[in-house]
Amino acid sequence: MTDRPTQLKLAPETRAAQALHYIHPMHGAVVPGIEPASTFARDADYAPMGDAVYARDGGPTTQHAEAVLADMEGAAAAMAFTSGMSAVVCLLETLEAGDHVVCPVVGYHGTIGWLHRMAEKRGVKATFYDATEPGALEAAVTPGTKLAWIETPTNPNWDVTDIAHAAEVAHAAGALLAVDCTVAPPCTTKALELGADIVFHSATKYLNGHSDITAGVLAVTETGALWDEMRMIRTLQGTALAAFEAWLLIRGMRTLHLRFERASESALAIARHFEGHPGVEAVLYPGLESHPGHEIARRQMTGGFGGMLSLLARDEAAARTIATSTQVFLPATSLGGVESLIEHRIAVEGPHSVVAPNLLRLSVGIEAVSDLIADLEQAIERAS
């Protein structure tokens, strides 16, 4: 990153596209390089020569990725991890026995599963609330709550939570609010500006956008004791994102705005096409005016509703047939990449899943939307 002065107030997509106006100070390269060193020398006074000391704490490429992400989020700082789950575990590891945390009953199954483990193994008190029920979050949060975790939109039903309202509820009880914004990255939702204290992303998904790394990030409104503890946990666990993966994350974030815009446009077209379709029981997508959370989503997802939607097939057998009959959609887990994916979600989550057995989760990529619609049409026809 350069310290070249500018009088222009640059738009977020400009700063992201240029990786914070990167120009290599020695040879002028306009693409960030990869610094794979595991250790870094000290000067004559035995002081670190830069910000990096040892790669387990995060080297220069990782720090650059964190700076780009913090800029996009409007965060005081960001931290990059080897996977989304390593970021989740790092945050939850700061909880002590007896601490109370609330979390939606439907959401990313890795987070929910780890909270169940902490409740069973560590004595953390976890309350799971129904995010679709009015007042459920308020009822779940108590004066002793340490952390309120929300996910919006929730995976894979795409229910929408009002982040600003959730922040008011959490802060009134003295709790911190953490928001999983994996499917609503900062090009569309600025959770910290809406009152959240911590934002989590599985950076494997939209932030990277090319299905070629696993990564996770946490961004915060302010640093302090909690931040220092999380940094210590990451160092001791050895889960700082490595240089090559950090470089790929930077590469992905540079095109985030364009990719997300295209995916949002295509997903909305698909949702509108199949809403009321005779071969589909329902379409779950917050961009549809019929979605119960549409107005909240419209207020806080200012850059598009994203490429994630779900179709409810006629029954579980039809869902399985559709998922294995597509020719453009790839039958694979994950989301947010340039390629479109289809997934029979309950088959992935397993026997403890509360997801509807006829639910198909779609991650819409950047292909021609006409091809995607035609592909789903033929697969639905095959299922019927």
Q: Which residues form the catalytic set?
A: 56, 108, 180, 205
Give how far the C-alpha of residue 266 lies from the chain's centroid of Cα atoms, to the nearest Å: 20
- Cα separation of 305 and 265, whole Å? 8
Which are the contacts of 156, defined by CB distance < 8 A and separation ≥ 6? 284, 308, 310, 345, 355, 359, 361
Asked whether the beta carbons of 75 and 101 are under 8 A apart, the reply is no
Asked whether the beta carbons of 300 and 286 are under 8 A apart, the reply is no
| E-strand stretches of the chain | 77-81, 100-104, 125-129, 145-151, 176-180, 198-202, 216-220, 280-284, 308-313, 330-331, 341-344, 359-363
Nearest to 86, CA basis, from 221, 203, 225: 203
Q: What is the DSSP string of 228-253?
A: HHHHHHHHHHT-BPPHHHHHHHHHHH
Give φ, ψ of 30 to 5 degrees. Answer: -100, 0
Helix, strand, coil % over all residues of the chain, rounded to 5: 35, 15, 45
Nearest to 119, CA basis, from 138, 135, 103: 103
Helix (H) or strand (E) segment spanning residue 261: helix 256-274
